[in-house]
Structure 1
Amino acid sequence: MEEKKIDINSIIGFVLIFGILVYMMYTNKPTEEEQAAQEQAKQEQVEAEKKVAENDVAVTTAEDYSVATISDSTQLVALNNKLGAFAYSSTLPSATNNETVVENGVLSLKFSNKGGYLSEIKLNKFVDFDSVPIYLVRDGNTDFNINFGTTDSRILNTKDLYFQPTVTKNGENTVVSMKLKVSPEKYLEYRYELKPNDYMVDFTIQSKGLNNVINSSQEVNLDWKLDTYRHDQSISYENRYTRLTYQYEEGKIDKLSQAGEDEETIQDLKWLSYRQHFFSSILVSKEPLKNVRITSKDLVANEDIDTLFTKQFTTKLPLAFQAGEINQPLQFYFGPTDSKILKKYDDNLDESIPFGWGIFGWINKALFIPLFGFLSGFLPYGIAIIVMTILIKLLMSFVQYKQFLSQAKLKVLKPELDEIKEKYKDNKMKAQQETMALQNKAGASPLSGCLPGLIQLPVFYALFMFFPTAFDLRQKSFLWADDLSSYDAVATLPFKIPFYGDHVSLFPILAAIAIFFYMKMTTGQQMASQPTQEGMPDMAKMMKYMIYLSPLMMLFFFNNYASGLSLYYFISNIISIGIMLVIKNYILDEDKIHAQIQVNKKKPKKQNKFQKKMADMMEQAEHQKQAQQKRKK
């Protein structure tokens, strides 16, 4: 009897549940207005696909959107409870994870229905070090989302909602419209416009009829995050030149930290660049943006393990309302970090490239970039580097001449300087005074050799910044180097040497050997002629250490650097050795220098302000010393 009772109760319960479900389905069935809206959405989709076919736009969509409508009234109620007015977007045929694909020649872009964002960005003309096509966005390495509140107290994210795609033509341009709808005529739109063979994409965020749906009294933020893919052979080298750069306050350029984590809140932001060494994703605004928060995080803690991404960049951008609606015109640049291309656009986008600050950047932009562009226009890239190096060294040869002349004068004066040192060996201050006086009369001040050397520093540093950022060198071969923008490995090691790596690059070795012989010749000359001053560091000993330390630093530091830079240093030092030999053997004559020094010593020599001040200070110090000695006695 009990088993029968249980069976009867189960049947009764099942009938009751079934009856309740039937009642709910009947009472919550779509109204005539909702059914009309769904039919209109279907018609819009058909018309959009018809326009695509008529305009012959390169677009890929699903042949049949699998989710046409949500017929289950229970699901519709749940959506309304969760999304409010935006539940309508999930009832449309586009409420799927399908993607729309558009090409403009240089870019292949995929737009995701879910979120309406660019889910894939491919640069058609480039491949990475392993011949894989360059993707700036792929496989979920980006988040693009608007977080907003609604007037019915909901907090929603566009990345969770479905946009309706349409692709049309505006003249030669391709327009992709992604609309997040609350009704057929009310929506939030991402509007992308692509020009043929152009890396710049016009992008507008705008709303229509949402002034009573989106709560404009709450902050509405656009969040853009990107984990930057590794594209270069050396991830540590690429990571060094992967950086978030931005322009603000009418032309000022700044950057987030190169390593670790960094963040900043910017006022009057004009553009920001997620630079991935040779490729960039740049957000540009037509009007300055307020209160933009940006962050940078280094993702390469261990380059043996962290080999996929280099850095993570994020941007939080508040969107402004006008009459309760959003209208934010922006632009995106997805392309090479190439100064020639970036200069074609306004807003100083080429300043996102680290040419160096101040005079160093000016030298690169005014001299080296145009010069190399001219030479590489008709010469192979490796030969262009060699020819540019020769021209620079010939231009700077007068500096070498001044340095060597100063060394020769000091060498001629060394016997007299040694006599002064011996004569005043018990009075070091007096010895220094007499040494300075003799050098001044003879026109052989050590500073006259140092100052010309300082002139070379801006050129040296400018070229140090030029080669790692020269996009034209990327994947250009020369001799055994497959890529002048990367290291030229001639051997792979079975182990890794700290600060050196797991490979052997040949150009840094050649450059180190050339630097060693050049310093051996020049520094040896300086050590022979440089007098030792009491109380001063032993310059001869320091120079001796530098002869071996500098080549060693070159060997380790440049093993992972661009081979084009090492090629430059190798050729530069070879030419310097040649120029020095010519100056020493055919231009300078020590007998003539000695005769000229004797003539200079007889002429009255007027001290400049610095020399006079130094002499006065030394004389005062000498008087104080003598006074102290008298008091002791």
Structure 2
Amino acid sequence: MEEKKLDVNSIIGFVLIFGILIFMFYQNKPTPEEVEAQKAQQEQIDAEASEPEVQNEIVTDEKPSLNLNDSTAVANYQSQLGAFGFTTPTEEIITLENDVVVLKISSKGGYIVEAKMKNFVTYDSVPVYLIKDGNSSFGFDFSTTDNRVLNTQDLFFEPSLTNSSGNQVISLKAKAANDKFLEYRYEMKPDDYLVDFTVRSQGLDNIINENKPVTLDWRLKGIRHSKSIEYENRYTRLTYNHEDDKLSKLSEGSDDEETEEDIKWISYRQHFFSSILATDEPFKSGVLTSKNLVEEESRTFGFTKEYASTLPIEVKGGGISKDMYWYFGPTDVEVLSQYEDLGLVDSIPFGWGIFGWINRYVFTPFYALISTYFPYGIAIVIMTILVRLAMSPVTYKSYLSQAKMKVLKPEITELGEKYKDNAMKKQQETMKLYGKAGVSPMSGCVPAFLQMPIFYALFMFFPTSFALRQKSFLWADDLSSFDTIYQFPEGFSIPFYGDHISLFPILASVAIFFYMMMTTGQNMPTQPGMPNMKFIMYLMPFMMLFFFNNYASGLSLYYFVSNLITIGIMLVIKNFILDNDKIHAQIQENKKKPKKENKFQRKMREMMEQAESQKKR
């Protein structure tokens, strides 16, 4: 193998390369001005590193903000904005206020930094805030013509407050020049929760890149208002209207995200209060996110959910123009119905399908009418009485079916003994007996099925009715929340039950127990190999006790009164209306009459006879 040696040509090549590198380093040596700039940049980095870390309220994709106390940062920021001619940093807070709501708007970013309800307080008598202490952010991201990205939260707006036809108007302009600006315009009407909000730009076609969409970014963390954060969080949800008035919701119990089209409004609902962004011309698309912040019951944790919406906006003619509305107010059907054109009343959780229809158009106006003449607790009792009286024909049908089954019980027992070794034959003869007597074992289920829409509609009505919020009755301080007769020591809680004892659920469970004793429990059959159905039915009141302990006391009050009334109606039917002897005589007469089978009964009989013959073979 030939040995490789370093020749003279190689040495000359290495010397030339080294000389070229030295020459290049000398030519690229920084000037004294560049040295000073690098030194200032390093001092800024060292100053930022020495500052303590601050955790912001909005934790998702948080954008950096300008520290006005940092002179170097302000100088750099002014230099960046100066390239486009925007206003230099000066910050002030402007207030819009009427009889129902107070909104505070910062000139830095131009968005609402505080929203306070004037006529409502929390469970501990603190004013209700929907926006406070940095729990919300709002801004637009847009690309510049030189491919940089600016966010309006970092711009400083010049405010001017005027009055237009009795309405308060705030115009905030981030100016690149006197005739070049981005404007936010807020218009508040007297005694109104809805605020007109317009965003438009003028003369910024040389700054805004119209080939890329402008993105609206709105974020909010729901502030706790109720004594039970788990209960409040159950009815705290992001709801939105899209695709020609289609209503959808993100999950109320877990993290969720959806991408939708043609979004008309977005509601960040916080149980009894809502923050809503609406528009006449729908957003073409949007990404909506909800993050659940509640892991367990807490007496101190302050937030329920974290919401975020990202909505692209088209740039037309080199500028932005979008008319919108802000709503900060109660989730109250009486208030939201005023904005029929926007359909904001649909953000209230009435329930789905026919259940929601009954809740919205029957129980809500019916209770509103009664509560204008009676105290709110008494109004629940009156409404319950009227509902049960209206349902009494159904109760009568149900009890009549049970009475017929009770009369036939000896004969059914006799058939059971006669055919105890032949289950198929026993079933066949039992059905034949029912047919001759004119009794249907399913007739008792139909009345219960008819009452299901009423049950579910009321189940949604009491926890979400704003009219019940903070209305007291007897020992209950708030009919829209659970009542408490004993509070366990802090840190102690019974699994699935809670950290308190409520009295109304106890009374409702006792009433349900006696109701079941009078009806299903006594007539429930027990078959070999099957679980004890009587035990299961008696267990239900105990389960309801656990379930209702953390629900609205108004709902427990309804079930307590409702079951008492039902028991009373059934006692009247039993003792004064129905006669077991007459029922027995009528059944015997029915047996004598020829019974014509319908197609279904004939098919069932043939199938059972066929199964019996196969078994014999």
Structure 1 equivalent of residue 344 of structure 2: 349
TM-score (norm 2): 0.86
Q: 2:438 maps to which residue?
A: 443
CA distance in 1, matches of 2:78, 2:101: 38
- Alpha-carbon distance between aligned partners in 2 of 1:482 and 1:609, rounded to the nearest angstrom: 58
Equivalence for 2:179: 185
5+ residue gaps, structure 2, are 1-31, 38-67
Alignment of 1:356-367 (within 5 A): 356-367=351-362
Q: Does residue 308 in structure 1 map to residue 298 in structure 2?
A: no
CA positional deviation for 1:75: 8.8
The residue type equivalent to 1:443 in the other structure is: G
Q: Specify the alignment match of 1:116 in structure 2.
A: 110
Residues 186 and 485 of structure 1: is their aligned pair in 2 closer, same or farther, counting only changes over 3 Å?
same
Distance 1:174 1:232 in 2: 32
Deviations, residues 299-322 of structure 1 (Å, cap 9, x unaligned): 112332761000011100111222
Q: Of 360, 374, 378, which residue of structure 1 is paired with 2:369?
A: 374
Amino acid at match of 1:479: L
| 2:411 matches 1:413 | no
What's the C-alpha RMSD, in Å, of the aligned pairs? 2.1
**Equivalent position amino acid for 1:551 in 2:** P
One of 475, 500, 503 as aligned partner of 2:500: 503
What secondary structure does 1:89 align onto?
A: coil
Whole-Å Cα distance in 1 between the matches of residues 275 and 603 of structure 2? Answer: 55
Note if 1:543 corresponds to 2:538: no
Q: In the alignment, is the contact (CA less than 8 A) between 2:228 and 2:299 conserved in 1?
A: no
Distance 2:158 2:603 in 1: 79
CA contact (8 A) 2:521 2:537 kept: no
- Whether the 8 Å CA contact 1:281–1:334 is kept in 2: the answer is yes
Find the counterpart in structure 2 of residue 457 from structure 1: 452
Count of residues in Structure 1 that have an aligned counterpart in Structure 2: 550
The residue number in structure 1 matching 2:514 is: 517
In structure 1, the residue matched to 2:418 is: 423
- C-alpha distance 306-256 of structure 1, shift in aligned 2 (>3 A): farther
In the superposition, the TM-score normalised over structure 1's length comes to 0.84
Q: 2 CA distance for matches of 1:533 and 1:439?
A: 19
Partner of 1:620: 610
Q: Distance between the aligned counterparts of 2:388 and 2:586, measured in 1?
A: 28
Shift of 1:77: 7.6
* Aligned partner of residue 272 in structure 1, secondary structure: strand
The whole-number CA distance in structure 1 between the counterparts of 2:192 and 2:74 is: 43
Is the 8 Å Cα contact of residues 91 and 106 (structure 2) preserved in structure 1?
Answer: yes
Residue 606 of structure 1 aligns with an amino acid whose one-letter code is K
SS at match of 2:444: helix
- Kept in 1, the 8 Å contact 2:220–2:308? The answer is yes
Q: What do residues 31-66 of structure 1 show as CA deviations (whole Å, max 9, x unaligned)?
A: xxxxxxxxxxxxxxxxxxxxxxxxxxxxxxxxxxxx
SS at structure 2 position matched to 1:501: coil
Q: Distance in 2 between matches of 1:385 and 1:200?
A: 31
> Does structure 2 conserve the Cα–Cα contact (< 8 Å) formed by 1:523 and 1:544?
no
The equivalent position to 1:152 in structure 2, one of 146, 161, 167, is 146
Tell me what 1:434 maps to: 429
The answer to whether the Cα contact below 8 Å between 2:138 and 2:217 also exists between their aligned partners in 1 is yes
Report the 3-state secondary structure (helix = DSSP H, G, I; strand = E; otherwise coil) of the residue aligned with 1:415.
Answer: helix
Per-residue CA shift, 1:517-552, capped at 9, x if unaligned? 11122123323xx4x6688x45xx2233221x2222
Question: Is the 2:230–2:296 Cα contact (8 Å) retained in structure 1?
Answer: no
Aligned match for 2:189, one of 195, 207, 214? 195
> Counterpart of 1:331?
325
On the 8 A contact 2:469/2:478 being kept in 1, the answer is yes
Q: Which residue in the other structure is 2:243 paired with?
A: 249
Whole-angstrom CA distance in 1 between matches of 2:240 and 2:596: 52
Q: Which moved more, 1:134-143 or 1:322-331?
A: 322-331
Q: CA 1:609 to 1:466, structure 2 compared with 1: closer, same or farther past 3 Å?
A: farther
1:431-470 residue CA offsets vs partner (Å, 9 max, x unmatched): 1111111112212211011111111111111100000111
In the alignment, structure 1 segments of 5+ residues that lack a partner are: 1-15, 22-66, 628-633
2:581 to 581, 587, 591: 591
Distance in 1, Cα, partners of 2:321 & 2:508: 56
Over the matched positions of the two proteins, sequence identity in percent amounts to 60
- Output the CA distance in 2 between the equivalents of 1:79 and 1:424: 93
Q: 1:580: which partner in 2?
A: 570
Name the structure 2 match of 1:603: 593
More helix by share: 1
SS of the residue 1:446 aligns to: coil
- More deviation in 416-425 or 582-591? 416-425
Further displaced range: 445-454 or 300-309: 300-309
Q: Contact 2:242/2:260 (CA < 8 Å) preserved in 1? A: yes
The whole-number CA distance in structure 2 between the counterparts of 1:438 and 1:513 is 36
| Residues 139, 153 of structure 2: 8 Å contact kept | yes
Conservation of the 8 A alpha-carbon contact between 2:228 and 2:298 = no
Matched, 1:470 2:465: yes
1:428–1:534: 8 Å Cα contact kept in structure 2? no
Q: Partners in 2 of 1:496 and 1:79 — Cα distance? A: 53
Distance of aligned partners of 1:404 and 1:377 in 2 relative to their CA distance in 1, 3 Å threshold: same
Deviates further, 281-290 or 518-527? 518-527
Q: Is the alpha carbon distance of 1:320 and 1:306 closer, same or farther for their aligned partners in structure 2, counting shifts above 3 Å?
A: farther
Give the conservation status (yes or no) of the 8 Å contact 1:393–1:572: yes
Query: Quick one: distance in 1 between partners of 2:307 and 2:363?
Result: 31
1:343-392, Cα deviation, whole Å (9 max, x unpaired): 11123211111111001011112211111011001100000000000001
The answer to whether the 8 A contact 1:432-1:533 is kept is no
Q: Distance in 1 between matches of 2:277 and 2:453?
A: 32
What is the deviation of 1:421? 2.1
Q: Could you say if the C-alpha distance between residues 618 and 84 of structure 1 is closer, same or farther in structure 2, counting changes exceeding 3 Å?
A: farther
